[in-house]
Amino acid sequence: MKLTAKNFKNYAKLLDSYSQFTPSPLSIKKFIDFGLNACEQKSYIFLRKELPVRLANIMKEIALLPENLLRMPSVHAVHDWYMRSFQEILEFEKTEDNPSNLKRFCDSLVKIRNRHSDVVETMAQGVLELKESHDVDHQTEHSVQYFLDRFYMSRISIRMLINQHTLLFGGQLERAPGPNKSKYIGCIDPHCNLVSVIQDAYENARFLCDQYYLASPELVVEQHTVDEPKPESDIRIVYVPSHLYHMLFELFKNSMRAVMEYHAPRDQYPPIKLTISKGKEDVCLKMSDRGGGIPRSLHDQLFKYMYSTAPQPSKSDAHTVPLAGYGYGLPISRLYARYFHGDLLIMSCEGYGTDAVIYLKALSNEANELLPIFNKTTSKFYRTAV
Ligand SMILES: O=C(O)CCCOc1c(F)cc(-c2c(C(=O)NCc3ccc(C(=O)O)cc3)noc2-c2cc(Cl)c(O)cc2O)cc1F
């Protein structure tokens, strides 16, 4: 439906009303329990309210961004995608949960997911457009950092809800029944084998490293469980393998880049060590490399969106390890870890190497979604930050 002045006013009213609601966080346990006895009508009734609530909450923040960022063509495009998706879901607000509407709803979710597939790159482009067209003061940089952390967390959560519904009810052909794929609940693996995800991420990062450096560090994995120091079988948890893969792939790339740059080509490269430990509260994955580390003063830059959207250096600059990252890999990996109340920390010892630790909740009932909530405090933050 084309946005006209008339329906724009009506849309603004709907945005206000849906943003008054607080998003309802779900735990991994709740996703599993619902999925084990999945009812499409219940999911439809929940999502046709929860999705517009989550969209409206973050759209109110987009509207509070500094004017000169909002005006950037790429940011405007993203805002437009959000408006269209918000409207599309509202068309189901009062429709009956009959089979044809359920099918239409599912198709609409797939369409929305596809519309938003390039949001991260497009927002990064918008930040670059801002840097190239305006002087960016500290306040604006601070607002952008605060906003993007919340914006990408909101996006992770909305895609999680959409993926669960479309995987459970989308009528996809049965997945190739891999060893435990058939036991997935949507995108959640109730028996996620950590070593398999680690191996996957390592092999793919190593492939890129070998391509560029013609060599790569080996990997050594150790596992410890609170009850048995040398567990017989691999440690497993209930988690979303694709989220864990994203974090590990990013960290392996960083460790490999540091090790290969720090050690002269003729050296025997020190291996990357990955220690997995399962405690009562957390499952920890510590990736340790001897890549020379970074100075403490540069730690925060690793997680900056503005800093890390440096223009792409030419290939010739690639011989030094530029701290200006090339993507949003690390900040978004930290959001994936925090999404279910875990965390991702980088501890570097300059002159020696870096430890990167991923903390995940050991208990699925404690792995609750961490959702950004739009309220007076949020808008005050933007007002004072402008
Ligand atoms: O976003 C992306 O695509 C990648 C964005 C990211 O790109 C980076 C990258 F992969 C690796 C490093 C790096 C360095 C380094 O670079 N040391 C050499 C130098 C020492 C001092 C200075 C300085 O004083 O300026 C600069 C470099 N040392 O340890 C790490 C390191 C960093 C992380 Cl997050 C990790 O998980 C593991 C690591 O071994 C820095 C990156 F930034």
254 CA distance to ligand 1 middle (Å): 6
| Residue pLDDT, tens place only, 102-152 | 999 999 999 999 999 999 999 999 999 999 998 888 888 999 999 999 999
DSSP 186: T
ipTM strictly over 0.95? yes
Q: What's the mean per-residue pLDDT of the chain?
A: 90
- Residue closest via CA to ligand 1's atom 40 equals 323
Closest CA to 323 of 288, 285, 292, 359: 292
Q: Is residue 121 annotated as part of the catalytic site, yes or no? A: no
* The pLDDT value given to residue 174: 57
Structure tokens at 281: 């509260």
More confident residue, 2 or 13: 13
Which entry of 246, 278, 304, 361 is annotated as an active-site residue?
246
**Residue to probe by mutation, ligand 1, list 121, 248, 257, 274, most atoms within 8 Å of CB:** 257
* The pLDDT value given to residue 381: 82
Q: Which residues contact 327 (CB under 8 A, 6 or more apart)?
A: 124, 308
Which entry of 57, 60, 129, 254 is annotated as an active-site residue?
254
* The pLDDT value given to residue 91: 96
Q: Is residue 10 annotated as part of the catalytic site, yes or no? A: no
CB within 6 Å of ligand 1 — which residues?
251, 254-255, 257-258, 289, 291-295, 298, 302, 308, 321, 323, 325-327, 329-330, 346, 348, 354, 356
Least confident range of 22-26, 167-171, 316-320? 316-320
The residue assigned the tokens 């001897």 is 290
- Residue closest via CA to ligand 1's atom 9 equals 254
| Residue pLDDT, tens place only, 201-251 | 999 999 999 999 999 999 999 999 877 766 789 999 999 999 999 999 999
Of the pLDDT bands very low, low, confident and very high (cuts 50, 70, 90), residue 5 is: low
Of the pLDDT bands very low, low, confident and very high (cuts 50, 70, 90), residue 60 is: very high
* The pLDDT value given to residue 320: 47
Query: How far apart, in whole angstroms, are the C-alpha atoms of residue 225 and residue 280?
Result: 9
Query: How far apart, in whole angstroms, are the C-alpha atoms of residue 83 and residue 120?
Result: 17
163 CA distance to ligand 1 middle (Å): 33
Residue 45 has pLDDT above 60, yes or no: yes
Q: Is residue 254 annotated as part of the catalytic site, yes or no? A: yes
220 CA distance to ligand 1 middle (Å): 21
Cβ-count burial 53-69 (b if 16+ within 10 Å, e if not): bbbbbbbbbbebbbeeb
Q: What are phi and psi of 92, to 5 degrees?
A: -95, 5
* The pLDDT value given to residue 226: 78
Question: Strand order in 219-225's β-sheet?
Answer: 219-225, 272-278, 282-289, 353-361, 343-349
Q: Is residue 246 annotated as part of the catalytic site, yes or no? A: yes
